[in-house]
Structure 1
Amino acid sequence: MADATAPARPICRTCGTQYAAARPDCPVCLDERQYVGRGGQQWTTLAGLREEGHSGRFEEQGPDVLGVGVTPEFAIGQRALLLRTAAGNVLWDCVPYLDDAMVRAVEELGGIDHIAISHPHFYSAMVEWAHAFDAPVHLHDADRQWVGRPDPAVRFWSGRTLQLTDEVTLINPGVHFPGSAVLHWSAGDGALFTGDVVNVCPDSRWVTLMHSYANHIPERPQAVRAAADLLAGYRFERIYGAWWNRVVTCHGNEVLARSVERYLRFEEGTVPGD
């Protein structure tokens, strides 16, 4: 799949976003939700990452859910998830790296029918993945401005929900980014895939919602409440977060409701004893 004639498209070393052409800055990193690395703006390419010895990492993260990542870790340590659904495979979120071995491994599992991404920090090399598997990329229209490499494979949706298949629904909760998305898979006991739009904490009995995790900017209480009300309409036992093994394995609805209640108590100043 490596094409020696393809242009060397720049990839930001800090966030992993791939751009269509060389540029002096990375808008994703300049935004208040991200940051420019201490050494200033630095770039690489897919070829450069391959020369540095990066490769794919695959690990099961749950029933019919395969984690897809990069080793050694690169950028913000993005981890995608391959959902093996009754209507075909869905890649949830994306990573900034791809090579022939990764393509073969995913093809052996049935390839990819749809790519859906939670928010701009995971756009990464989405067009490379779309081309490799001839799959559309579904992004919310409210985050159109963050697409660094426009391409016909990118399809924008709007509103609060998009039904991808009978079992898979994209939902726009409107936190972290205006066009943020989470994915609900209704099969079995139900699962919610959230990236860090709803972040699974190291203590997986809890989740949290923030405007910026890197810069510790809290999310607006009214937005958190609205997101929680929207997601309460879906049933899910498991919540899959953005990072390796950050998974709520049971009572997902209760975990989200309890976590939002705690968040709002602190943000609205109603914590007992204050």
Structure 2
Amino acid sequence: MNYHVCETCGVQYEKSIVEPSECKICTEERQYVSIDGQNWTTLDQLVASSKYKNKITFEEDGLHSVKTVPTFGIGQTAYLVQNSHFNLLWDCITYIDIETITKINELGGINAIALSHPHYYSSQVEWAEAFDAPIYIHEDDKEWVTRPSEHIIFWSGEELNLQEGIVLHRVGGHFKGATILEWQNNKKEGILFVGDIIRVVADRRWVTFMYSYPNFIPLPTNTVKRIASQLDTFNFEKLFDAFHRVIEKDAKERVQNSANRYIAALENKLFET
């Protein structure tokens, strides 16, 4: 019996004797099955290979990024947010080993885990069990959980206050329950963690919004207008996305400018070609 892991997306499935017939995350139109076909591994195999390690990087006071090198699965970055004796792991990665657990415990451990959307569920249950932490997932994405656990808490509504200064917001778009994290960090201007519900593009002055990034399926204008209107009520100066792309300042203004440009492009008002 093994907890099989999809090699393409890195999401772990509940225990079974044989490999699952398919990965429901990857066969859905927002993701993809590798051109090499559906392949499976296990966390034990990843650790035994000695190929991977997690790089934990100090970003600023109270914030570390956590990323697997070399890249595994989608290659996202998780973030350890340290907020007044409350450590939150924002989003998750597949790889976890004793060295990772030791280093994070040296930083105060993990009190809770929160997920932006199903592509980053990875081995979230392994992380939750290692740190005895609850996992917060919006109930609108309940159907995408591939490994059930008593650690998972399905929350509802439009926002959830985990602690003063740490708020989850359901904004939808990429997934129905797509969630972002607002962290005030005892500063005048806060930080927004967006997974790839919002994606920082190559030109760091801009972001974009997509239903599917690998398959280039855009979101409709009314959805982007709604997301932009919701984000306009938040107080943030800086923005981190799932791939360690950062807008260091004026992030709120840049998100609004990007939404306006995106909408203008889809409504045939930005350019002629």
- Structure 1 contact 79–243 (Cα < 8 Å) conserved: yes
The equivalent residue for 1:24 is 21
SS in 1 for 2:163: coil
Same amino acid, percent of matched pairs: 40
Q: CA RMSD in A?
A: 1.1
Tell me, in whole angstroms, the C-alpha distance in 1 between the residues paired with 2:22 and 2:119. Answer: 15
Instruction: Write the mapping of 1:1-150 to structure 2, written as runs, cut at 5 A.
Output: 7-21=1-15, 22-53=19-50, 54-150=52-148
- Structure 1 contact 87–165 (Cα < 8 Å) conserved: no
Instruction: Write the mapping of 1:173-212 to structure 2, written as runs, cut at 5 A.
Output: 173-187=171-185, 188=187, 189-212=189-212
- Structure 2 contact 265–271 (Cα < 8 Å) conserved: no
Tell me, in whole angstroms, the C-alpha distance in 2 between the residues paired with 1:99 and 1:256. Answer: 36
The equivalent residue for 1:240 is 240
Gaps of 5+ in 2: none
Question: What TM-score comes out, normalization by structure 1 length?
Answer: 0.95
Gaps of 5+ in 1: 1-6
Question: What TM-score comes out, normalization by structure 2 length?
Answer: 0.95
SS in 1 for 2:204: coil
- Structure 1 contact 89–112 (Cα < 8 Å) conserved: yes
Picking from 153, 156, 164, the partner of 1:155 is 153
CA distance change for structure 1 residues 263 and 237 in 2, over 3 Å: closer, same or farther? Answer: same
User: CA deviation digits over 1:121-147, x for unaligned, max 9?
Assistant: 100000000000011000000000110
Higher mean displacement: 198-207 or 210-219:
198-207
Tell me, in whole angstroms, the C-alpha distance in 2 between the residues paired with 1:50 and 1:145. Answer: 29
Tell me, in whole angstroms, the C-alpha distance in 2 between the residues paired with 1:224 and 1:159. Answer: 19
User: CA deviation digits over 1:188-238, x for unaligned, max 9?
Assistant: 120100010011112211111100001000011111110111111111000
SS in 2 for 1:237: strand
User: Any runs of at least 4 consecutive aligned residues in structure 1 with deviations exceeding 4 A, and if so which?
Assistant: none
Q: How many residues align?
A: 267
The equivalent residue for 1:225 is 225
Tell me, in whole angstroms, the C-alpha distance in 2 between the residues paired with 1:62 and 1:183. Answer: 17
